[in-house]
Chain A
Amino acid sequence: AQKITQTQPGMFVQEKEAVTLDCTYDTSDPSYGLFWYKQPSSGEMIFLIYQGSYDQQNATEGRYSLNFQKARKSANLVISASQLGDSAMYFCAMRETNTGNQFYFGTGTSLTVIP
């Protein structure tokens, strides 16, 4: 089974609107971390936001927030007030305590912000 599933290969959003990128995960480890990365067309991987499995509150970083629903095993990324520069691939990733430090990545969602 896939550890990280991103079901939206492509998304469009109007500039200044909010958008939610979906991510579900599969683990039996009670301790894990969830991460979102942005990959613009230039190719680098830019860290956006982190959520720990024991965190009581949803993580927020500026315009990024993570809608963490532990029972549903989902960790959706919400981008508020979209900007043209947000157009990129977005990857959800997970690290589990029992499998060491490696990250498991999803297949990504391509976000296009429309002016």
Chain B
Amino acid sequence: EPEVTQTPSHQVTQMGQEVILRCVPISNHLYFYWYRQILGQKVEFLVSFYNNEISEKSEIFDDQFSVERPDGSNFTLKIRSTKLEDSAMYFCASNSIEGMGDTQYFGPGTRLTVL
């Protein structure tokens, strides 16, 4: 069964450093998302991406964040200058069509720890 994959599973970085989180969405999916989950809290939407551009973003997704689809398979989230409060689990998700019933399938997550 196809699945969303994410690398690395755990990333530790120093405050102020740049990190790139990588995702490979399900191959025939067209819509891609990043969410984050601070430890013990709910999952929060960051950004959605379609047709090589951002289609929606939340207030959390400020100028330090960017997303890219550098090739036909990868979807990346870059955090330019990490802060302590960026420590969270970051989930990538994808779905195939823009429909109410189309489920977003989540990757296993990358746990980011900022020291």
Q: How far is the CA of A113 from the CA of B101 in the complex (A)?
A: 30
Which of B17-25, B65-73, B102-110 is near enough to bind chain A? B102-110
Contacts of B55 in A (CB 8 A): 100-101
Q: Which of A43, A47, A102 contacts B103 (CB 8 A)?
A: A47
The answer to whether B107 touches A31, judged by C-beta atoms less than 8 angstroms apart, is no
> Which residue of chain A has the shortest Cβ distance to B55 in the bound complex?
A100
> Which residue of chain B has the shortest Cβ distance to A95 in the bound complex?
B100
Q: Which residues 71-99 in B have Cβ within 8 Å of A in the complex?
A: 89, 91, 93, 95, 98
Q: Does B43 contact A (CB under 8 A)?
A: yes
Inter-chain contact count A-B, CB under 8 Å? 67
The answer to whether A102 touches B42, judged by C-beta atoms less than 8 angstroms apart, is no
The answer to whether A44 touches B103, judged by C-beta atoms less than 8 angstroms apart, is no
Q: Which residues 45-77 in B have Cβ within 8 Å of A in the complex?
A: 45, 48, 55-56, 58
The answer to whether A100 touches B56, judged by C-beta atoms less than 8 angstroms apart, is yes
Contacts of A52 in B (CB 8 A): 100-101
Q: Does A37 contact B (CB under 8 A)?
A: yes
Q: How far is the CA of A47 from the CA of B104 in the complex (A)?
A: 8
Contacts of A43 in B (CB 8 A): 89, 108-109, 111
Q: Which residues 90-111 in A have Cβ within 8 Å of B in the complex?
A: 91, 93, 95, 97, 99-108
The answer to whether B111 touches A102, judged by C-beta atoms less than 8 angstroms apart, is no
The answer to whether A47 touches B105, judged by C-beta atoms less than 8 angstroms apart, is yes
Contacts of A47 in B (CB 8 A): 103-106
> Which residue of chain B has the shortest Cβ distance to A51 in the bound complex?
B101
- The 9 A-B pairs at the shortest CB distance, nearest first, are namely A45-B106, A102-B45, A105-B43, A44-B108, A33-B100, A107-B42, A105-B42, A100-B56, A47-B103
A residues apposed to B, CB below 8 Å:
31-33, 35, 37, 42-47, 50, 52-53, 91, 93, 95, 97, 99-108
Apart from A100-B56, A103-B104, A105-B43, 16 more pairs, CB < 8 Å: A32-B100, A43-B89, A45-B43, A47-B106, A53-B100, A91-B42, A97-B100, A101-B31, A101-B55, A101-B98, A101-B104, A103-B33, A103-B43, A103-B45, A103-B93, A108-B42
